[in-house]
Structure 1
Amino acid sequence: MELLLLLAVCGALVYAQGLVLGKGSLRGVKVSRRFSEEACYAGDRLEIVETIENAKGLPVPWLRLETMLPASIVFRGRGDTSVSRGRIYQNHTSLFTLQPRVKIVRTHQTTCVSRGVFVMETASLTGGDLFSIHTPSITLSLPHKLTVYPAPMEESVMPDSWRSWQGELEVRRWIVEDPFVVSGTRAYLPGDAFNRIDWKASARSLELQVRRHGHTADPRAMILLNIEESEMMWDRVTRPGDMETTISCAASLAAGMLGRGLSAGFAHNAVVSRYSDDTGRVEFGSGSGKLDETLASMAAIEPRIRMPFYELLRREAELELSDGMDYLLVTAFRSDRIMEAAALLEQSGHRVAFVEPPVRTKGGRRS
């Protein structure tokens, strides 16, 4: 009889703690999550900070926070978390025990191993009592967008064609005069055009003076990226590693040009991530802000073809831009159609240079 009474008392206590601690375990619990960066490069380290607060006067025996995150975010392990990884996504779980009126801040050290645009929207929060009799669960809205830029390629492995173009640019930049840049005046010499005479300077010096032109300080270059593996490719990339190498090569071109004060633009022939507002084309500009915009466009590239590369070249030729510029074509191969479309750009007054990323290729031809 005493044993039955003891069992009844224990059962009542277990049931009571379930009502008190379990049924209302999520009441007064607040959760927030932030990332240390809104954008970073592939290979960079990133901190994810979770803050959990229990505002009520009762403890929470256990609390589980589950989040679906992209698989490209790799956690550097700790014992109070678990990660179930898939090819595209991973399920990250954190466990907590909360005392009354306490706030816990937990920092996870991660590494972003690949580029992309990632959106994390919700998380699942589950609480319970000591014996998990009551385990209420809710879905939390924890929106965050993370942009991971492609890691630029090392200069030592960049194609020779890139270095050759750089040398040619320097020659054109400082030898060819720009009629729109005036750096001063000089004495008139036989053969100087009369429309270069500066009459005000001539009146001051009592002898003919002509305007001395400077050199082009802001040449423009457009980077066109081809993610096709061969001329026969029509939809999805089958060698993603080669595509990432090609994108990294284009990222190095953009960083090199914009870092030297040049004006650069960017366009590609790939499908754009649905999480990005990018259109597949970045207009000309200069400075660090333009580099971020260009790298964000590269981050949004999906491994699918939006149009053939030769079609992208034809559309560029049809823009009928008023002045000639440099086109850098980053492509692993050249086909007859690509060469014909590149010729259209040259006929429009532009200069065209091919930059071949260090990848394997089949179909078409390399330079």
Structure 2
Amino acid sequence: MAASGQVSGLRAALRGLTTRGRSFLAAGLTAAVCAFVFGQGALLQVGALLAALPLAAAGLLVRTRYRVASGRRLSPHRATAGQEARVHLRLDNVSRVPTGLLLLEDKVPYVLGPRPRFVLDRVEPRGFREVSYRVRSDLRGRYPLGPLQLRLSDPFGMCELTRAFSAADVLTVVPQVQDLPAVRLPGESAGQGDSNSHTLALAGDDDVIPREYRHGDDLRRVHWKSTARYGELMVRREEQPLRARATVLLDTRESAHRGSGPASSFEWAVSAAASIGVDLVQRGYRTRLLTDTGHAVPGQGAQGSTAAESVGALLDALAVVEHSDRGTLARAEEVLRLDGEGLLVAVVGTLDEDQADRLARLRRRTGGAVVLLLDTGTWSGLRHVLPDTPDEQAAARAARLRESGWTVLPVRAGDSLPALWRSADRTLNSLPYRDEVGA
């Protein structure tokens, strides 16, 4: 088995001969043939020397037993589209002998840039080397980095062997998030916003609302009557603040959007959903992301989740969201009918008359509703020549949504989301109180 492994290693080394090594080997064989033809013994010695040099280099690499370890660190792990991220590589020589010439190459997708290559001259025993490179993508998504490839080379550059590590990492490129102005959202005055109200655990022994004991609970909160009744340790509920709920509805239907690439209406909608979702989480809303497919990403309020974790889950979901082939928002409507309390912010593309009517009816189940209605024709250039030409059908559907209590924000290509969000505040302040709370 050992002999077979050495033979296979020698074959791999011969296949790894560089252009210089192959040239030396060819020159040596040619000199040897000429020596036999012309009877020149000195030429044979030269040929043997030329051929032996690359073979000796290949044999040396086969017998080399370097023990190296690698590590990779991303800064940051979650980058914004258009933002640079730095990848830090570390190579440790864990053997007792120094390494020779090493060539490092990390595999990266083409959208992140060319493959980075680094040359390390020598790494002393128990030593290490650190290198770094930058990556950047204008397209959101999840991109694998690695595995790291290590090329061993002899001092004369005759032969190279490639070894690959198994570890790899993933860089998540999330949509751009814009800072939104602090506005008064619908439903806040009705107790749906950042309220200081609390739900109190009842103090009476007969009216107490217990729950199961969890690791870390104070034993002084144990309710012994409930423990005896249920046969397991029960504790009194603590005073808990009421938290507002919000849903960000993103229309991903391919038929509802226009344009392509980062400048498409779909990418604008994804970035808007990310900005609004992050803003709501930071304002204390228990926020979830919902798409027309019915897929929902829970936000803050999920057991054990923090605001940072909620933002991370929201951005990770939006980093990989794609077009759907659905023609309606029916799946999302089903989810909202079952659990549609709190504030609803919808970012939608083109709507037909039936879809606008069904979306209008969802207003009755929410504490407040804001819709960003994209005029997708401006992204496709259909109204580029006459940018002020109104779309009568879109205007009629916007009016239908306003009549049902929605706060409608028409969006055209090039519009600023912070400015639109600020206009929502002015629109809400101009509405009567009964419309604001959905009375």
Superposition TM-score tier, normalisation by shorter sequence: 0.5 to 0.7
Aligned to 2:120: 96
1:295 aligns with 2:295: no
For residue 167 of structure 1, report the CA deviation from its aligned partner: 4.4
Q: Secondary structure at the match of 1:299?
A: helix
Q: Choose 1 or 2 for highest CA Rg.
A: 2
CA shift, 1:93, in A, is 3.2
Q: What's the CA shift string for 1:315-365, capped at 9, x where partnerless?
A: 22442x3x7322211013222232132134235466432113586357973
CA distance in 1, matches of 2:197, 2:152: 73
Would you say the 8 A contact 1:26–1:127 is kept in 2?
A: no
CA 1:314–1:52 in 2, change beyond 3 Å: closer, same or farther?
Answer: same
Partner of residue 65, structure 1 = 104
Q: Is the 8 A contact 2:347 2:373 kept in 1?
A: yes
CA drift of 1:135 comes to 2.6
Q: Return the offset for 1:6.
A: 5.2
- The unaligned stretches of length 5 or more in structure 2 are 1-40, 201-240, 302-306, 381-390, 399-439
Q: Which residue of 1 aligns with 2:67?
A: 28
CA shift for structure 1 position 56: 5.0
Partner Cα separation in structure 2 for residue 170 and residue 318 of structure 1 = 21
CA gap of 1:53–1:288, structure 2 versus 1, over 3 A, is: closer
Alignment CA distance shift 1:240-1:38 (3 Å):
closer
Contact (CA 8 Å) 1:18, 1:132: kept in 2 or not? no
Match of 2:245 in 1: 220
For normalisation by structure 1, the TM-score amounts to: 0.66
Which of 358, 367, 371 pairs up with 1:354? 371
Given that 1:73 and 1:112 are in contact with CA atoms closer than 8 Å, whether structure 2 keeps it comes out as: yes
More relative contact order, 1 or 2 (CA 8 Å, 6+ apart): 1
In the TM superposition, what are the counterparts of 1:226-245 in structure 2 within 5 Å? 226-228=251-253, 230-231=255-256, 238-242=260-264, 243-245=266-268
Distance, in Å, in 1 between the alignment partners of 2:78 and 2:325 is 25
Equivalents in 1 of 2:63, 2:160: separation in Å?
9
2:185 and 2:336 map into 1 onto residues whose CA distance is 25
AA partner of residue 351 (structure 2):
R
Instruction: Write out aligned runs for 1:203-282 (5 A).
Output: 218-228=243-253, 230-231=255-256, 238-242=260-264, 243-269=266-292, 280-282=295-297
Correspondences of 1:314-353 after superposition (within 5 Å): 314-319=333-338, 321=339, 324-348=341-365, 351-353=368-370
Rounded Cα–Cα distance in structure 1 between residues aligned with 2:56 and 2:138: 48
Which one-letter code corresponds to 2:278 in the other structure?
Answer: A
Distance (whole Å) between structure 2 residues aligned to residue 40 and residue 290 of structure 1: 16
Structure 1 residues 332, 66: CA separation in 2 closer, same or farther (over 3 Å shift)?
same
Indicate how the Cα distance of structure 1 residues 99 and 124 shifts in structure 2: closer, same or farther if over 3 A, else same. closer
Counterpart of 1:140 (choices 165, 174, 182) is 165
- Cα deviation code 1:236-256 (max 9, x no counterpart): 984553222111111111122
1:307 aligns with 2:326: yes
CA deviations 1:55-86 (Å, max 9, x no partner) are 3525423x333333234435xxxxxxxx2xxx
Quick one: percent identity of the two aligned structures? Answer: 17
1:210 matched to which residue of 2?
A: none
Alpha-carbon spacing, 1:306–1:135, altered in 2? closer, same or farther (3 Å):
same
The 2-side partners of 1:353 and 1:284 are apart by: 19
Kindly tell me the number of residue pairs found equivalent between the two proteins. 296
Quote the residue 2:394 is aligned against.
365
* Larger strand proportion of the pair: 1
Does the Cα contact within 8 Å between 1:224 and 1:329 map onto a contact in 2? yes
Deviation at 1:45, TM superposition (A): 3.5
The offset of 1:142, in angstroms, is 1.7
Q: What TM-score, normalized by structure 2, do the two folds share?
A: 0.56
- 1:16 matched residue in structure 2: 56
Pick the structure with more helix per residue: 2
User: Measured at CA, do residues 314 and 169 of structure 1 come closer, stay the same or move farther in structure 2, by a change above 3 Å?
Assistant: closer
Point out where structure 1 has 5 or more consecutive residues left out of the alignment: 75-82, 84-90, 157-161, 183-215, 271-278
In the alignment, residue 55 of structure 2 is paired with which amino acid? Answer: Y
Q: 1:349 to 1:47 in 2, by over 3 A?
A: closer
Measure, in 1, the Cα distance between the counterparts of 2:328 and 2:346.
Answer: 10
- Paired residue for 1:273? none
- Residues 63-115 of structure 1, C-alpha deviations (whole Å, 9 max, x = no match): 333333234435xxxxxxxx2xxxxxxx4433333345342111223345432
Letter in 1 for 2:349: A
Separation of aligned partners in 2, 1:14 and 1:361:
61
